[in-house]
Amino acid sequence: MKVLDGKALAATIKEELKQEVDTIRLAGGKIPHLAAVLVGEDPASQVYVRNKVKSCEMVGFQSSLIRRPAEITQTELLEIVDELNKNPDIDGFIVQLPLPKHLDENTINLAIDPKKDVDGFTPVNIGMMTLGLPSYLPATPNGIVTMLDRYGIETSGKEVVVLGRSNIVGTPMTILLSRKGNPGNATVTMCHSRTKDLAFHTKRADILIAAIGIPEMVTADMVKEGAVIIDVGINRVEDASRKRGYRLCGDVDYAGLEGKVAAMTPVPGGVGPMTIVSLMMNTLAASKR
């Protein structure tokens, strides 16, 4: 089985980005600047944002972190978004999700200038992606597509099954792999919580993308021999044998599938690092605009 090592691939792409930024700096050009807005104290969000800031520093980007307490009002957060939209030095920014429940994520998202939407979540960028026009692609799906391309995983004419229909991963993933292009030209089936006989669909998949958020739900009996598995899930499960009392796992049973599939992403170290590097690729593109 080939391990689709997102951590190693992300390191390679970061080095490529660093070389490009070095060239821009030597020419006296605009250094890419990514800003992140972090609301509250969600542990996972803090880790994600910290990794994004660290990655920016590694490749020579400028980065800004705007932290606000969970009690921030929607009006106050919208004012921060407006300031970032108008700041000519900021090339792109993200508002880290999830937000506290009293804040309307859709309203915040709609307030982001599409030209600075390096997460690729605004309706303008989603619509452009759907039409196959140049846009900022959602970070995780773009990271997966980049991984499939760099590892030489053929998608044309293949049966792809996507588990999950979120706007962040599942839905854009189906669009990207079904449209004309490479990677692309696949026949894509989307499955979700209301899908009947899930195994019927997963057993047909040449490429299975699991983004459903249920620990190790996909087992060996649900997957055909020689399939390619992209595991987007990252779940924390209790494990008394571990020093910290838990372990991280994906949506697929990695140990159970190792001997059956042709290639698979590990968790952690698979899709996660590619999501961050995809965000940086979008930021570089934004700075060039």
Active site residues: 52, 96, 119
- Using CA atoms, how far apart are residues 269 and 200, in angstroms rounded to an integer? 29
Residue ranges of alpha helices (H) inside 131-268 are 139-150, 170-178, 198-202, 254-257
Measured distance between the N- and C-terminal CA atoms of the chain, rounded to whole angstroms: 41
Report whether 166 belongs to an annotated binding site. yes
- Using CA atoms, how far apart are residues 164 and 173, in angstroms rounded to an integer? 10
Q: Supply 277's token pair.
A: 């590097």
Distances (CA, A) of 133 to 118, 128, 184, 185: 16, 5, 15, 16
Report whether 234 belongs to an annotated binding site. yes
Give, in degrees to the nearest 5, the angle at Cα 84 between 83 and 86: 65
Contact indicator for 82, 112 with CB cutoff of 8 Å = no
Q: Is 234 exposed, middle or buried (0-12, 13-18, 19+ CB in 10 A)?
A: middle
Report whether 72 belongs to an annotated binding site. no
For the annotated binding site for NADP(+), the residues are: 164-166, 234
